[in-house]
Structure 1
Amino acid sequence: MISFPYPRLNQVFDALLEETLPQEELARRFAVSTRTVRTDITTLNDILSQYGAEFVHLRGSGYRLDVHDADRFSLLQQQSRATRSVPRSAKDRVTHLLLRFLAQGEPIKLDDVADSWFVSRASLQSDMTDVRDMVGKYGLTIESKPHYGMKLFGRENAVRACLANLLFQYPAGDPLFGELRGKVLPEIDIAQLREQLHLTMQQYHIRLTDEAEQQLLIYCGIILHRIRTGFLLDELDVSDVEPVFTQAARDVARYLEARFGCGIPETEVAYLSVQIAARRITDASSLQNIDGDENHALVKHILGFINEHYNYDLRGDEQLSSDLLSHIATMMTRAKYQINIPNPLLEHIKQHYPLAYDVTLAAVSSWGKNMPYTITDNEIGYLVLHIGVGLERHYDIGYERHPQALLVCDSGMSTLRLLETKLKREFPQLIVNQVDSLREYEKLEHIEEDFVISMAKVPEKNKPVVTVAPFPTSFQLEQLAKLVLVDRTKPYMLEKFFDATHFCVLNESVSQADLFARICHQIQQEGYVDADFHPSLVERESIVSTMLGEGIALPHSLGLLAKKTVIYTVLAPQGVRWSENETAHVIFLLAISKQDYEEAMAIYDLFVTFMRERAVGRLLASTDFEQFRDIAMDCLSRS
C-alpha cells in the first residue's frame, strides 16, 4: 500500500493532479519556501518512479504530471485513496472524530480508534481538546465513563447544526467531502435529489443560490440519517414562517418518504421549512415596510450609526439599502433559529477590508444589545461586502495622496501658465503650488511639497529639484515621471500619524488591560482623546478580537472618537496575550478623528501592507522609533 512520508505530500500530489502549477504558487498555498517545494517534488518523483509517472517542470508553466504507464499509475491512485481513508494529520483526525460523535449514537473508545488509525492514545487525547471546543460552541458536551467510552450529549437541533456546518465546510468536489458524506449519507443519490429539490423550488417560485441548494441537499440527508438512527427533533414554533416554505418543505418530505421509505414527522417538516426560508434569495421590493418591521429598522440603524459615528453618509444610497434589506431578511431568520451559514471569505474580509469590517461590526453590535439572539461573524462578513461597495461608490475610500510639487518661475505669467498647462496634460494627478520668484524660493527654510520644479537652476533644500524648460524635453518629463508616479500615500501616512512620542518597545510582560490603560492615560493627558475613549476601546475588543494577523493587532474605539488622530505603536518581543489563542507582537493603537475619516482607509492599508510583507520580525528588531520608521518605509516601498 502506497504511503507518502508526510501529509503535505498528499496535498501537493492532489493539487498537481488537478492542474499545472508553478513552484511559487505551491509555496504560497502550503506556506513553505520554493526550496521546500522542490524537495517535495523530488520525494514524490522518487515514489512515482515505481508507478510509471513523474512530475516534470515546464518553463513558464510549472509542474505537470507526466504518466508513462497508465496501468501502474492507476494502481497507485487506488492505493493512495485507501491510505487516505485513515486520517493522518491532526486536523483530519479532529474532523473524523467530530463526525463520529455527531453521526453515531454509540459510545466511542479512544483505544479502539487509536488502534484503527495507527496513532497513539495520547495524540487522540490532544485532538479531543479541539473536538470539545468545537461542539461546545453549539452547547453540546462530550461525557466520558470508564470502560464505557465517550458520548455526545445535547439538543438534537444543535447536533444537526454542528453536523451540517462540518459538511458545509467542504465543496462537493472535495475528496474529504465525499468521504464524510459516505459515512453520513451513504444511500442518497445527490444528483437525483438535487433535481427533485430544484423542481420543487421552481414550483413555489423560491429562488436559491447553488451554494444554498447544496446546503439543503446535505440537510435532507441529515434528516434521513438522524431519523434512522433514532434521533428526532423537539417541537418547534414556526408560526412566523410563510406558508409557501411549509408547502415546499412538505413536498420535499413526501419525496424523501416515497424514495427512501422513511416516515418524516411534522416536526421535521417544520424545521425543513425554516431551512428553506433561511436560504432563499429575497427581493427587497417584495418586503413591505410596516411599523415595527425589524428588517427595515436594522437597515436604517446600520446606515444611521455609520453616519453618526464614522462620518460616512450612505443613507441616500437606495441600491445599498435594497441590497442590505435583501440579505437581512433571510439573515434574521437564520439568527432566530440559530442556523449558521459558512463564509469562506471571512478572514480575507477582516484582513483586507478592515475599515468596512469595523464600521459594520460596530453598527450591528450596537443593535445586537437589544436583540434576543446573536448575529454571527459569518453574517457580519457578508454585510461588510455590501457596506464596502457603498463606501467605494460614495467616498474616495481607497484614499490616495496625490503628488505635490512647488513650481518656481520668474519668467512671467504667460510662461508660467504655459508650463502649468503642459504639466497638467502630462501628469493630471499632480498638484502644483507656486512661488513667483527665485528670491521667494531662497527665503523658504523648509519645502512642504514632495519635490520642486524650476525653470532656473536653484539650490536643493530638503526636497529634490528638477530643472525644466518652458517646453519640457522628453528627458525632463522622464525625470519628473520618476517623482510623480511614486506611490506616496503610505509613506505620507507614516510621516503624518506616527512619531517617537507615541512609540515604545515593551520589554516587560504586560496584560492587554494594563497596556490599554497606560496608553489611553497618556493620549488623554495630551489632548488627543477624552475619557470616553478608553471604555469604548475595551468594549470594541470584547466584541471581536482586533488581531489583524501575523502577530499584528489594531485596537481602536467604536466610532471615530478622537479629537485629533494619533497612532500609538508598541513593539512587544515577548508578546501580549490578546485572546485565548492569540498573541500580539506589534500593536498599533488607533485613535482616529472624524476630520480624518477620508484618510482612514489608507491608515488601515498601512497595516495590511505590513501583514502582507510579513514584516513583524523585521519591525520587532527595531530598538527606537528611527529604526522602526526606516524598516517600515522599506516595507512600504516594496509593496
Structure 2
Amino acid sequence: MIEKHLKILLLLDESNEWRPSKKIAQRLGYSQRSVKNYIQQINQLFSEAIISSKKGYRLNTAQREKIFQYFDIEPIQTFQSIESRRKYLLLNLLKTTQPLNIFDLSEQLYTSVTTVKKDIQALNNEIDEYNIKIVSAGDYLKVIGEENEKRRTFIDQVYGDTDSLILTEETIQQLFPDLKIFEMKTLINNSLVDNDLFVDEYALISILLHVTLFIEQMRGGTNSSNAAKIVILDEKLYDISKQLAAALQDFLKIEIEESEIYEIYILLLAKTSTAEQKRVTREDIERFVNDETIVIVEKILSFLKDFYVIDLKDESFYIPFVLHINSLLTRARVGHFLKNPLLTSIKNGQPFIYELAVSVTSIISEFTQVKISDDEIGYIALHLGGAFSKENQKYHKLVCALLVPEVRTLAPDLKKKLESQFNDTIYIERVYTTNFDQRELANFDLIISTIPIRNFDSSTPVVAITPFFTSEDQKKIYFKIDEIKLKRTYQDFKDNLNQIVDNKYFMKNTVLKTREEVIEVVADILVNEKVAQEDFKENVLARERMSSTAFNNIAIPHTFKMNALQSKMYIIVSERAISWGKKDFVNLVFLFAISEQDKQIFYNVFEILSLLFANEENTLEAINKKNFADFINFLLHQEQSLIE
C-alpha cells in the first residue's frame, strides 16, 4: 500500500478522538489538501474506512480488523511502530560484524520482506550523512562504511529517544544480551574512582555504552581505530586508560589493542574531571586551561557584553564555563563530542537561549575551524541560561512602592524580606504607611501593598499581600514581576515589528517545499531589493549548517553577523509543511535581514515569536490567516495569550 495512506491510518488508530485535517497535516508534514485527498483515496478503496464530521476525521473502529486486513497492516502495528521497527533493524545491523538474513529479520519484526526492503530504502536516506550504507547480497544485509562512522551512527540512534527514555545499564544490557553489562559498569566505575577521576551517572553510562560497542565489534573481529591518528594530550590519563583496558581484558578474556586503548583514552579525556580540577579557583584557572581557551572565553564574554550590556565574569559562572570550554576544545581536537539527552527540550523549550548558545558556538568554530555538534551547543545553552537570566535582571529592576501599616517594626522588616527575596528584580524606592498620594503611586512600576487601595485609577499594577509574607505572597509577586516584564518585552516587540515588516515581504506559500528553496528565493528578493548584501544567502545557509533554526513548527533563519543594508523580516505562511533539513517540518518561516545598529531588534522579536509559537494553537491560527494585514494584526494582539 502507499506509505502516506498507511501513516494516516496508523495515526488515526492512535485514539478514537476526532482529528482536524490541519492537525493531521502538521503531524505528518503533508499539506491539508493532500490529507483530504489521501483520505478520499482510502475511502474509495475501502468504503467509510475513515469517518468525517465537522470536528475532523477518525478511524471506523467497528471495521478496524477488516480495514487492517484489506490494507495488509499488521494488527500490532502503530504509527510509532514504523520508526521503532526501523530503529530495531538499523541497530541490529550496526552492532554485528556478520551479514543478517532478510527472511530472519522479517520474522523477528513480524512484517513482510517487502516491508523490510522499503525500510532499508528509508534508512539509507537517513544515514547518508554518516557516509555508511545498508547493502544486500542475495538474501543477506550488511552495513558498509568506516567502523568509527558505524559506531557514531549506533550511538546517535540509541540516544535519539533519550528525551523520553533515560539511558540506563538495563537498556544497554537489552541491546547486548551476551555481555555482562552490570559487572562492566562496576569495573569501569571502580577504575575511575581508584584514580581520582570523577563522572556523574550520565557520563558513566555514556562511557559504558561506547566501551560496550567497540568491545562487541572487537569480538566480531573488527578493528575500528587508526593507530596513526593517535595524539596523546595527557600522559597520566593515557596510563589510566591502559590500566582500565587491562582490567577489561582480564574480565572479558579478550585482547585489547593499542587503537582500542586510545578509544578509552579519548572517552576519559572527554567525559571525566579530576579532584584537582574541582577545587580550582579563578586565580588558579590558568594552571588548568591553555591560553587559547582564555582568549576564546574573553571573545565570548565581549560578545555578550556588546549585545546585552551584561557582564558574566562572576566566578559562579566564569570558572565552570572556562573549564567547560577547555574540555570542549579538547574534544573538538580529537573529533569526539558528547551526546546531550536534553537537547530537544532545550531547543524547543528555550529557543532564545539556544540561539544565544549557537552565536557563542560560532565564535568557537570560527576560532578553531571545527564544527561543533548540536548536542554540545545544548550544553553551552545550559551554562548560559541561568547566568544570562540572573545577570540580565540586575539591569532591569522594577521600581516599587511598599504600602504597609505603621505597626512597630513591620515596615522595615517586610521591606528587608522583600529586598532579600527579590534582590535581582525589584528596588523598593518608597515605603508608605497610613498616608500616601495616589498620584505619586502612579509613577511606580509596581505597588506591593498590605493595605486596601480604594478607587485607584491607574494602570500601575498592584500586588496585594499579607503582612506575614507567606509562600503564597512570594508566588503572587513572582508572577506579577514576570507579567510586567513580559508586557514590556511585548510592547518593544510591537514597536520593533512595525519597523521590519512590509507587505511585499510576505508570502502565502504553495510552491516552496524545502529549506533550500525558501532561502534561495527569499535571499534573491532581499538582495535585489538592496536589503541584504550579495553574500546573504550563503551566510544564512552557514547559520543553518551550524544548527537548524527550526523548532515548534516554525523556523527563524538569519545570519550570524547582523550586517544587512536594511532591517527587514520576510514572512512565509505555508499550510503544507515545508521540509526544514532532514528531520524538521515547519509551517511558518520568519527570515531576518538585520543591520548592525538594529541587532537588538532581532533578539527582541525572536524572543516573542519563540514564546508565542510554543503554543500549537497559535501556530494553527496563524497558518489560517489569509493575508499580510491579518497575519500582522494577529501578532500584534497576543499579549493575553502570552501572559496566560
TM-score range, shorter chain: 0.5 to 0.7
Report the equivalent of 1:387: 384
1:258-307 per-residue CA deviation (whole Å, 9 max, x = no partner) reads 22322322332222122111101363656636997433333233334445
1:505-558, Cα deviation, whole Å (9 max, x unpaired): 33553532112221354462xxxx6667565434323433322331x2212221
- Distance change >3 Å, CA 590–CA 188, structure 1 → 2: same
| Alpha-carbon offset, residue 324 of structure 1 | 2.4
State the 1:98 CA deviation.
Answer: 1.4
Q: Which amino acid aligns with 1:515?
A: V
Which of 528, 545, 548 is the matching residue for 2:548? 545
Aligned counterpart in structure 2 of residue 325 of structure 1, from 314, 322, 325:
322
- Name the residue aligned to 1:294: 292
Cα distance change of structure 1 residues 425 and 340 upon mapping to structure 2, 3 Å threshold = closer
> Contact conserved, 2:580 with 2:586, CA < 8 A, in 1?
yes
Q: What do residues 303-336 of structure 1 show as CA deviations (whole Å, max 9, x unaligned)?
A: 344456x355547445443222211232233333
Among 495, 519, 522, the alignment partner of 1:515 is: 522
Change (3 A) 1:379 1:604: same
Aligned to 1:571: 573
Mapped pair 1:276 → 2:274: no
Asked if structure 1 preserves the Cα contact closer than 8 Å seen for 2:497 and 2:605, the reply is no
Name 2:437's counterpart in structure 1. 418
Residue in 1 that maps onto 2:427 = none
Q: State the 1:574 CA deviation.
A: 5.0
Distance 1:522 1:622, change over 3 A: farther
Q: Please, which moves more after superposition, 610-619 or 156-165? A: 156-165
- CA distance in 2 between counterparts of 1:181 and 1:174 reads 14
Q: Corresponding residue for 2:587?
A: 585
Matched-pair contact (CA < 8 Å) for 1:554–1:590: yes
TM-score w.r.t. structure 2 length?
0.67
* Aligned counterparts of 1:127 and 1:270: Cα–Cα separation in 2: 35
| Structure 1 contact 317–390 (Cα < 8 Å) conserved | no
The 2-side partners of 1:578 and 1:397 are apart by 38
Q: Which residue of 1 aligns with 2:89?
A: 97
5+ residue gaps, structure 1, are: 1-5, 13-26, 44-82, 404-415, 430-470
Q: Secondary structure at the match of 1:241?
A: coil
AA aligned opposite 2:322? L
1:229-240 aligned at under 5 Å gives the runs 229-236=220-227, 237-240=229-232
Question: Which residue in 2 is equivalent to 1:501?
Answer: 502
Match of 1:476 among 446, 452, 456: 456
Q: Is contact 1:86–1:117 with CA below 8 Å preserved after alignment?
A: no
Cα pair 2:100 2:142 within 8 Å, conserved: yes
The partner residue of 2:611 within 609, 612, 634 is: 609
Asked if residue 360 in structure 1 is aligned to residue 340 in structure 2, the reply is no
Instruction: Return the alpha-carbon distance in structure 2 between the equivalents of residues 521 and 428 of structure 1.
Output: 52
**Is residue 335–residue 375 contact of structure 1 (8 Å, CA) maintained in 2?**
yes
Larger radius of gyration: 1
Residues in 2 aligned to 1:305 and 1:494: alpha-carbon distance in whole angstroms: 23
Aligned partner letter, 2:342 = L
3-state SS of paired residue (1:638): helix
2:71 corresponds in structure 1 to: none
Question: Which aligned pairs between 1:135-150 and structure 2 lie closer than 5 A?
Answer: 135-145=127-137, 147-150=138-141
Do the aligned partners of residues 276 and 86 (structure 1) sit closer, same or farther apart at CA in structure 2, a change above 3 Å counting?
farther
- For 1:176 and 1:319, the matched residues in 2 are separated by 31
Q: CA deviation at 1:424?
A: 5.0
Question: CA distance change for structure 1 residues 271 and 538 in 2, over 3 Å: closer, same or farther?
Answer: closer
CA contact (8 A) 1:7 1:89 kept: no
Q: C-alpha separation between the residues in 2 aligned to 1:8 and 1:576? A: 20
- Give 1:21's aligned residue: none
Alignment of 1:43-192 (within 5 A): 89-145=81-137, 147-169=138-160, 178=170, 181-190=173-182, 192=183
- Return the letter of the residue paired with 2:440: T
Question: How far is 1:423 from its partner?
Answer: 3.5
Q: Following the alignment from structure 2 to structure 1, what is the Cα–Cα distance between the partners of residues 108 and 212?
A: 27
One-letter code of the match for 2:197?
I
Deviation at 1:245, TM superposition (A): 1.9
Distance 2:271 2:290 in 1: 23
1:259 aligns with 2:258: no
Q: Structure 1 residues 103, 297: CA separation in 2 closer, same or farther (over 3 Å shift)?
A: same
> Deviations for 1:438-461, whole angstroms, at most 9, x for unmatched residues?
xxxxxxxxxxxxxxxxxxxxxxxx
CA drift at 1:207: 1.2
Quote the Cα distance in structure 2 between the aligned partners of 1:533 and 1:130.
33
Is 1:619 the equivalent of 2:622?
yes
Aligned in 2, Cα 1:184/1:535: closer, same or farther, shift over 3 Å? Answer: closer
Cα offsets for 1:24-79 (capped at 9, x unmatched): xxx9xxx99xxx9xx99x99xxxxxxxxxxxxxxxxxxxxxxxxxxxxxxxxxxxx
Aligned partner letter, 2:502? T
Q: Cα offset for 1:213?
A: 0.9
| CA spacing shift, 1:173–1:381, aligned 2, 3 Å | closer
**Distance verdict in 2 for CA 1:210–1:520, change over 3 Å:** same
1:604 to 1:507, Cα distance in 2 relative to 1, 3 A = closer
Partner of 2:468: none
Shift of 1:100: 1.5
Cα 1:386–1:491 shift into 2, 3 Å: closer
1-structure distance, mates of 2:453, 2:166: 60
1:551-588 CA-partner distances (Å, limit 9, x unpaired): x2212221333577543433234565543554543222
The percent identity for this pair of structures is 17
Letter paired with 1:498:
L
Kindly indicate whether the alpha-carbon contact (under 8 Å) linking 2:312 and 2:387 is maintained by their aligned counterparts in 1: no
Question: Which deviates further from its counterpart, 172-181 or 614-623?
Answer: 172-181
Q: Which residue of 2 aligns with 1:16?
A: none
Contact 2:97/2:217, CA 8 A, preserved across alignment = no
TM-aligned CA distance change 1:148 to 1:372, over 3 Å:
farther
Cα deviation code 1:69-118 (max 9, x no counterpart): xxxxxxxxxxxxxx999998112112211121112222223333223322
Match of 1:195 among 175, 186, 193: 186
Q: Deviations over 1:374-413 (max 9, x none)?
A: 321111111122233343243249989999xxxxxxxxxx
* Structure 2 residue aligned with 1:452: none
**In the aligned structure 1, how far is the partner of 2:304 from the partner of 2:459?**
44
